[in-house]
Amino acid sequence: MNDTPVSVAGPTGRAPGTTGAAVTAAGHRDDHPRDECGVIGISTPHGDGIAELTFFGLFALQHRGQEAAGIAVSDGQRARVHKDEGLVANVFTPEAMAPLTGYHSIGHTRYSTTGSNAQRNIQPFLVETMHGPLAVAHNGNIVNAPALRDELLSRGFGLTATSDTEVVALMLAAAGGRTWEERLERTLPAWKGAFSLVLLDADEVIAVRDPWGFRPLSVGKLPSGGHAVASESCALATLGCTDIDEVRPGEIVTLKGSEISRHQALAPAARSARCTFEFVYFSRPDSVWDGHNVHHVRQRLGVELARESAVDADVVIPVPDSSIPAAIGYSNETGIPHNDGLIKNRYIGRTFIEPTQNMRERGVALKFNALAENLAGKRVLMIDDSLVRGTTAGPLVKLVRDAGATEVHLRITCPPITHACHFGVDMGHDSDLMAARRTVQEMQEHIGADSLAFLSLDGMMRAVGATEGYCNACFTGAYPIAVDEAQAKLSFEGAIA
């Protein structure tokens, strides 16, 4: 695998010993929404171990995307990138990281929402411009990307990928202005949708967040005197950062060694639109989002569930891992004992080995095993964070019943998901969503539970501690900005095979 200096750098080769496309271990899609990615940017005054710092920051963000990862670094004159399919620890071997020296870096770990998971879409994108090197990594989704892409093509630009991030990179490369901050500020108004961006030029790192604040982005001070910016505060804490603060919606933050400058480039939207699903599922429980600890909010989701839809049961079990705090909250509120009922294989998320037909039929048994000793002869209250397509809820209910449970009641820590997301979360189309096609009673019968209940929208927001300022379009269909121009995930794939 090669590291490419400054140029339009294509992705490196496939990891040794792997062939074909990745499949989920269960042979079908995991029934959870998928976030697009995690991003990180670091600038240090001395450059010691810049690639290693970026690696460990990305490692802390691995939960946000498991398809691919990349790091771009610059040393004040030139930039190089290394990126490939796979998990962070597989992509970045000591040999791959050795050439990644410099003072500034950005990194990306990816799950695709716009564009397939093809090699050409792996980030960061690194291009050579008349102003020097520019690398871009992006978390979110630009809903008007098709129109922007068509405009670039009409102006004679050649596009090599099918991602909205490449559109962002080329627009910046073509923008006027004396500095990258000026070019970014001139280009920002054209982008509609969700974006938390990190940019790398020859001698600095720049971060920016959309004016609605859809996706998270935080900045902190490194022990070395430099600074870092990342999708979640947990990554900054891993690096030992202090003075951690959110990047404000519409704000540009520039990191250059020990220096940091912050500039409000766009006025924040009149009504912010933070993604509620960061609390429900995406963010790591030790992260802070909008001033609230994620684990604590998830516990309150369980408390609200208990208040709204309590049922007689003998034990409360979570579907690990994101539902564990909610199960604790539900148990504390009702007095029903909390225990483990499902054990998760945490290493099964990405594999290049196709399951046999027999194993495929076993479905969730590849990912979960039931603890019969905690379930047999008991009325079980099972808590999960969401129910999207309904592909795993039924098998999980069956798994618990087969372990000897006399009743299985399912509780979900958010409202029914009835509309697709267009702001960086892959939930599929509206027609893919179980709650868009079935009533709660029909869903209960389909998955075979003794009862099924979802947390209300009001209950969810009570747990979050807010009455406004959040995007709940996937529950309500009330999108904070128009999505008429939004594209399907693979809509750019036709022209480039």
Pairing state of beta strands 451-454 and 407-412? parallel
Q: Which of 130, 143, 117 is nearest to 202 (CA)?
A: 130
Do 47 and 381 form a contact (C-beta atoms < 8 A)?
no
Pairing state of beta strands 104-110 and 125-129? unpaired
Whether residue 321 has a cis bond before it, omega within 30° of 0: yes
Beta bridge partners of 23: 351
Q: Phi/psi zone of residue 489: left (φ > 0), alpha (ψ -120 to 50 degrees), beta?
A: alpha
- Cα gap 231→262, rounded to integer Å: 17
Q: The tokens 């140029």 sit on which residue? A: 7
Pairing state of beta strands 407-412 and 379-384? parallel
End-to-end CA distance of the chain: 22
* List 37, 234, 241, 275, catalytic entry: 37
Do 310 and 288 form a contact (C-beta atoms < 8 A)?
no
Whether residue 480 has a cis bond before it, omega within 30° of 0: no
474: annotated active-site residue: no
Q: Annotated catalytic sites, by residue?
A: 37
